[in-house]
Amino acid sequence: MWSPEYSLTGSYEYREECIFAATMFLEPSFHTQRRGWIEVICGSMFSGKTEELIRRLKRVKIAGQSVEIFKPFQDTRYSIDQVVSHDARAILSRPVKHSTEILTVASNIEVIGIDEAQFFDLELKNVCEELALRGHRVIVAGLDMDFRGRPFGPMPDLLAVAEYVTKLHAICSHCGNLATHTYRLIADAETVVLGETDIYEARCRYCYSLGNILDLRQKR
């Protein structure tokens, strides 16, 4: 069995592959009572969270399981009624204004996908737990930190109660190391500002700490 202290090669890449294999291929295998659980996919912007959510949901469909997907109504960057990743992969979804609307999902739906969870209200954690208790597999994707580096919306609560957590990393726009933070390029103090590469970039811990891009270039 793999552990943080030992691997066959001792390499970081091998340990990452072990984690990927252990957490990425989760399809229900219960043959008696239907049981539910919560999976959370988190990370910075441009780390592939939505892409991973779509990949899992497409596997669900291939397996012949029923699925319904939800997104916050205010996220209209790419589409009103689709979950769309930065690399243009898409899957049909239902926009909702409040997380409790997700509880209206039909009882025969086996898997529920939720994208951009950080934009939902704080009730989302309770909603996901209720859905899991009903026997649904709940897959949630969202930013774990806002542009200030603080826990974002309901994400910390979801991370605490999830059975499975996958943290993805982007690549730092400046040094090429693993990026864990989302840096905002414009001077706007609002927590929620929708945008893409024109407003945000992924940075590692060190480059994020340097702040303004002009200061960053001077110190490198």
Report helix, strand or coil for 63.
Answer: coil
Question: 112 Cβ partners below 8 Å, 6+ apart?
Answer: 67, 68, 69, 70, 102, 105, 131, 136, 137, 138, 139
Question: Is 27 an annotated catalytic residue?
Answer: no
Beta-strand runs (E) in 25-119: 37-43, 67-72, 82-84, 90-92, 94-96, 111-114
From the list 132, 118, 126, the residue with the least C-alpha distance to 38 is: 132
> In degrees, to the nearest 5, what angle opens at C-alpha 107 toward C-alphas 104 and 110?
110
DSSP lists the bridge partners of residue 151 as 145
Query: Of residues 39, 51, 110, 116, which has the active-site annotation?
Result: 116
Report helix, strand or coil for 155.
Answer: helix
Give dist(CA 207, CA 86) in Å, integer.
Answer: 22
Which residues are catalytic, by number?
116
